[in-house]
Amino acid sequence: MDHKRTFLIALSCGTALGHAPDARPQAGGAPVNDACSGAIEIPCDGTPFIADNTFATTLPSDPRFECDVLPVFGAGTIWYRFTATQSAVRILSTPMGDLTDGGDLALLQGGCDGFTSLRCTRPLTGLSTRLVSSELEPGQEYYIELASSLLGPTQGERLLTVECLNIDPPSNDDRTNAIPFDFCEPQAFATTGATSKSSLYNTVWYVVVGTQFGSMQCQAFSVDIENLSFTVTAGVGTSPIAFSTTFFGRAYADWTSYEGVPYFIEIGSTMPDEGIGALIVSEGGGISGVCDFGGSNTCTTIGFETQDDGVTPLVNGQEIGSDLNGFFAITTSGANAGAVTYSSDPGGDNTSSSDGDLLVDTGNLLILQNNNNATVLQQSVPGIFDTPNDDPEGGAIRFEFMVPAAPMSLQLVDVDNDGSSNQVVLTDVAGRQRTYTVPDEWTGDRSEGEPGMGTLDLTTLNSQPGFGSIATSSQDTAFDDQAVTCIEVRLAGSGAVDDLSWCTDSRAFSAATALPRNGSGVNPMSFGSWSRPTLGGTWVTSLDCSAHSAGGAVVFIFRSPLDGFPTPFGELLVGGQPIFSMGQVHQGESVYFEAPVPSSLALLGRVAYAQGLCTGSPGPQLTNALDITLGF
């Protein structure tokens, strides 16, 4: 008998890339991996698969997703299994087509007749869903669950990658190595690989020292730790003096502080979550009243020369993991060995390499490392490839920002691929996209005396002539180029990127707004906002039902936007997870709704999407939507 432990991952949105024979739907439409017993085996090497749950069903035997205190069922669940080759796994589910998020992911241990949840996560940003677990055992088998929401076009194709890797605990994994930082200075953190030492999971430590008697406030947020939480201890004490209030990836706490006393912040999750985020601490009052962020644009250019501390150098051939998490998370997909630095110095480490077309003399570049033979995969020093070499099969590099950004430009190097085009895709907070298509010959080839590189302007939709071709662009309606959360560079073959530039405006993340949106315009513009959704205030809206006889008026608020899903009652413009709804009777006139907004900094910058519905003769009618940002 095989006594090895079995782990399961249920993924309610997909089938394997290329639709392998064992992944095709059975008679009746349901895929063969619709139930746990039909889980499809996939490799754990980062190879992308198309996960398609269009016709998957929801079975009573499917385990609930334990992402929160109250577990919930998924919709259209399908199953995969893999064997761990290293001690950690990173799973990424990216929406394709009309889908607006990566779905809910769970990593489970056990067998089809009983499970223990190891990890669970859902897409907080409305984009990709990322799950990381660093507690696996090499050689053991694991299975996957991904689920869709019941509303909107949420069942369909997603791009799924499962990659095994080794992750060491971060340097501040324990209290004795807490990282000091200053008041009003945002501090990026990463809990991936951290151990669980208290009532919280996967915690890391930071410390600030009081300079006066008064009060302190800490606010933290994360792009992928939904149950983010922290505790505060003082001096040599081990009992917490403050516990954070937590709400959908944000947490905050206040406490009384004293001069000269160190305050240790242990940050992690109330559920098994790992990921990245940022925190900030103020002294002498609340963050919004004490910290002056200048209210102007802060612009950054990353040339892949140093880690996010701006000091520690990135060396030639270095694998890029969490080194730049202070700015963005870098993930990759495709048949390659991941993101790696490449020195472009013509007289440097790569002078005799086969990649002379990358020697453009601009410092480090970022490439997708070739994995086609043992020579290019050799590492004399762990984490550093002896021979960095760009993969001829290409792949994708994703930059997922800590906070929404306004991309400015990106340098592309040697992206000439025998007729194939490359793409750079920007995705905003609502899941809308702008796509730049960069044809062959746009950069030219350095080894043939041509420029070999070019800078792509990410602020314009105008055509951009290159060396031998013209880059073009297109975008979804209402795409917001000032609130981009992800940049994906899709390389058709070999090549590199450099000098990624973007700006952020601190004021943009604290202003309360309720902006109208109306898809293709078929719905009446009859849902309005009479006040801003400010923290501690009351949000007042109106719904004009004067085109109907007496009936019902409903306002419903959801986590995600939709571009316009057609229904018999108009276009549905909101979807994903419901937050709350309000309803009342109308007499064929305008009615008003009041919704109190909690006075909680944990909600600062949170977004939601509202839409109205009027009933009564001549029939139900959906209205325009309001895109809500909570703030001041």
pLDDT, tens digit, 9 for 90 and up, residues 348-380: 888 887 777 899 889 999 999 998 888 889 999
> Fold for domain 7-165?
Jelly Rolls (2.60.120)
Can you tell me which residue has the tokens 């008697």?
213
Q: Is the model more confident about 222 or about 164?
A: 164
Q: Which tokens is 326 given?
A: 């202070």
Note the pLDDT of residue 22: 39
Asked whether residue 17 carries a pLDDT value surpassing 50, the answer given is no
Distance separating alpha carbons of residues 291 and 186, to the nearest angstrom: 10
Strands 395-413 and 470-475: unpaired
CA dihedral angle for residue 74, residue 609, residue 504, residue 426, rounded to 10 degrees: 60
Note the pLDDT of residue 339: 93
E strands along 293-414, which residues? 297-302, 328-333, 339-343, 364-368, 395-413
* Domain 175-290 of CATH type 3.40.50.300: no
DSSP for residue 472: E
pLDDT, tens digit, 9 for 90 and up, residues 53-105: 888 887 777 888 776 556 677 788 889 999 999 888 888 887 776 666 778 88
Ranges of each domain in the chain: 7-165, 175-290, 301-503, 510-629
Task: Please provide residue 601's backbone torsions phi and psi, each rounded to the nearest 5 degrees.
Answer: -65, -15
Segment (H or E) for 490: strand 484-491
How would CATH label the architecture of 301-503? Sandwich (2.60)
Answer whether 175-290 and 301-503 agree in fold.
yes
Task: Please provide residue 509's backbone torsions phi and psi, each rounded to the nearest 5 degrees.
Answer: -100, 5
How much is the pTM? 0.47
Strands 40-41 and 75-83: parallel
Q: Which option is the CATH number for 510-629: 2.40.128.30, 2.60.40.10, 3.40.50.300, 3.30.40.10? A: 2.60.40.10
